């Protein structure tokens, strides 16, 4: 099955906790603090790989987590950093933040790796907190916890040329005669459900042609498969518009030509503005040649007469594509602002009145404080109280109406409030 859109959850690794420990050795009492720092968490990255063409791997596997940093150890030994997790996606995959819709990365070229989420910092071990007036800190810092993020993956095929036209007009057959690609060919509609890429050689150049699933009426309004697949021609430089000149299956070649162009305009005017080469295929079955002039007239350009099954017009088409591509700029990656996931604001907090006499404080500042404080340790608790005062939490509590004797909850701990 071909899947070109998926949503997955990613989470970089948490930082490892700092270690609280004191140096011990035979005959040595009261050794100094020697707890090491926790390791940084692993990052989440994406890699573009050309041997993948669908996002089917992400249909069931939804959660991707990098390794957490290791906790710090005794004897100043730092915890190991967590392993990065690199997720392989097809070339051309665009990664977006689901919440804001912003582009995080355009996985444009084979082998490129983009790291999108940094791991959490490791916590400091107690050795770090030793200062002259505090020789024996009995506390260490916790590792930074990371958040999980939902991201959208979407394949936008990258090719030089896109083959477009109604189902069954011969697009896949054409790709198979101009390149080594072997797309499925059959005389029923929708044989091509995923874009097939073929490499075409002309003179000393090569270029990539994509066979896009057939467009159908109303594609640009979301009918059938068409709409979803039009995005696969957004990143082509040139379109080859294939028409069944013979009008087999009761098709009207002129009406087809007009209808397909209308679909392009309906989807995105930029698609309609892309240069087009018009190919009249199946001329081996053609009896009424007046259609050639009609198409020439309505398109205002020369058309290529072709029969993919008897291999006529093949060289002409290859040369025409080659000559046209020479004049056109290369496909470039999407333009987007550099993106980083928002880190929790370490200075913000909010006092919430839960019920009469009971308040709770939430926010990034509290989470950060929690990393730095061990509440059953006297030094640590003093530090905590000072922070609460210095950073305006006291004031905010008063403003919220806290009175002496009320209970205030911060994270897992409840305090009795006294001014």
Ligand X SMILES: Nc1nc2c(ncn2[C@@H]2O[C@H](COP(=O)(O)OP(=O)(O)O)[C@@H](O)[C@H]2O)c(=O)[nH]1
CA neighbor of 64 nearest in space, from 47, 83, 87, 82: 87
Q: Does 186 bind ligand X (CB under 6 A)?
A: yes
- What minimum distance in Å lies between the beta carbon of 185 and Mg ion? 7
Neighbours of 392 (CB within 10 A): 13
Q: Does 385 bind ligand X (CB under 6 A)?
A: no
Q: Does 299 bind ligand X (CB under 6 A)?
A: no
With CB under 5 to 8 Å by kind, the binding choice for 173 among Mg ion, ligand X, none is ligand X
| Beta strands per DSSP E along 36-179 | 44-49, 63-65, 85-90, 93-97, 103-107, 113-117, 149-155, 161-164
Q: Does 98 bind ligand X (CB under 6 A)?
A: no
| Of positions 157, 172, 261, 372, contacts Mg ion by CB under 5 A | 172
Q: Does 282 bind ligand X (CB under 6 A)?
A: yes
With CB under 5 to 8 Å by kind, the binding choice for 187 among Mg ion, ligand X, none is ligand X
With CB under 5 to 8 Å by kind, the binding choice for 308 among Mg ion, ligand X, none is ligand X
- What minimum distance in Å lies between the beta carbon of 183 and Mg ion? 6
Q: Does 196 bind ligand X (CB under 6 A)?
A: no
CA 276 to chain CA centroid, Å, is: 31
- Residue with Cβ nearer ligand X (68 or 281): 281
Torsion of CA 365, 367, 372, 374, to 10 degrees: 120
Which residues are registered as beta bridge partners of 33?
22
- What minimum distance in Å lies between the beta carbon of 144 and ligand X? 53
With CB under 5 to 8 Å by kind, the binding choice for 168 among ligand X, Mg ion, none is ligand X
- What minimum distance in Å lies between the beta carbon of 311 and ligand X? 9
With CB under 5 to 8 Å by kind, the binding choice for 282 among ligand X, Mg ion, none is ligand X
Q: Angle CA(389)–CA(365)–CA(22) in degrees, nearest 5?
A: 85
CA neighbor of 35 nearest in space, from 142, 133, 119: 142
Q: Is residue 226 within 8 Å of 210, Cβ to Cβ?
A: no
Contact window for Mg ion (CB under 5 A) among 78-86, 185-193, 243-251, 348-356: 185-193
CA 27 to chain CA centroid, Å, is: 58
Contact window for Mg ion (CB under 5 A) among 56-64, 191-199, 308-316, 332-340: 191-199
Half-sphere exposure of 182 (CA within 13 A, CB side): 0
Q: Does 192 bind ligand X (CB under 6 A)?
A: yes
- Phi and psi angles of residue 293, each rounded to the nearest 5 degrees, phi first: -65, -35
- Tracing tokens 């907190």 back to the chain, one arrives at 129
Q: Is residue 138 within 8 Å of 20, Cβ to Cβ?
A: yes
C-alpha span between 264 and 394 (Å, rounded): 62
- What minimum distance in Å lies between the beta carbon of 162 and ligand X? 13
Near ligand X in 155-184, by CB under 6 A: 165, 167-173
- Residue with Cβ nearer ligand X (55 or 174): 174
C-alpha span between 395 and 205 (Å, rounded): 72
What are the residues binding Mg ion (CB under 5 A)? 172, 191-192
């Amino acid at each position: 099955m071909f899947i070109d859109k998926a949503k997955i959850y990613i989470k970089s690794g948490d930082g490892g906790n700092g270690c609280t420990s004191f140096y011990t050795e035979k005959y040595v009492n009261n050794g100094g603090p020697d707890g090491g720092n926790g390791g940084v968490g692993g990052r989440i990255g994406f890699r573009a790989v050309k041997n993948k063409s669908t996002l089917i791997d992400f249909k069931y596997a939804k959660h991707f987590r990098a390794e957490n940093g290791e906790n710090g150890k005794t004897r100043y030994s730092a915890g190991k950093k967590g392993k990065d997790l690199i997720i392989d996606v097809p070339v051309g995959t665009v990664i977006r933040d689901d919440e804001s819709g912003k582009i995080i990365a355009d996985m444009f070229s084979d082998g490129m790796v983009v790291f999108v989420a940094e791991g959490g910092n490791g916590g400091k071990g107690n050795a770090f907190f030793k200062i002259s007036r505090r020789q024996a800190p009995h506390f260490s810092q916790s590792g930074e916890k990371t958040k999980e993020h939902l991201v959208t993956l979407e394949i936008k095929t990258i090719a030089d040329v896109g083959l477009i036209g109604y189902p069954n007009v011969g697009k896949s057959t054409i790709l198979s005669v101009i390149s080594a690609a072997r797309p499925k060919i059959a005389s029923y509609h929708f044989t091509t459900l995923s874009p097939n890429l073929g490499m075409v050689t002309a003179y000393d150049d090569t270029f990539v042609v994509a066979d896009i699933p057939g467009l159908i009426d109303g594609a640009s309004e979301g009918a059938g498969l068409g709409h979803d697949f039009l995005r696969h021609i957004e990143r082509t430089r040139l379109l080859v518009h294939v028409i069944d000149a013979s009008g087999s299956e009761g098709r009207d070649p002129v009406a087809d030509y007009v209808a397909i162009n209308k679909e392009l305009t309906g989807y995105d005017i930029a698609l309609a503005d892309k240069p087009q080469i018009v190919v009249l295929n199946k001329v081996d079955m053609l009896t009424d040649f007046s259609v050639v002039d009609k198409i020439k007239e309505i398109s205002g350009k020369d058309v290529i007469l072709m029969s993919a099954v008897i291999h006529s017009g093949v060289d002409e088409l290859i040369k025409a594509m080659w000559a046209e591509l020479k004049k056109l700029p290369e496909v470039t990656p999407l333009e987007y602002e550099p993106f980083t996931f928002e880190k929790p604001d370490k200075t913000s907090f909010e006092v919430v009145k839960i019920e009469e006499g009971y308040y709770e404080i939430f926010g990034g500042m509290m989470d950060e404080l929690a990393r730095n404080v061990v509440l059953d340790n006297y030094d640590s608790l003093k530090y905590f109280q000072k922070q609460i005062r210095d950073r305006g939490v006291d004031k905010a509590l008063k403003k919220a109406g806290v009175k002496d004797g009320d209970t205030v909850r911060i994270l897992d701990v409840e305090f009795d409030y006294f001014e």
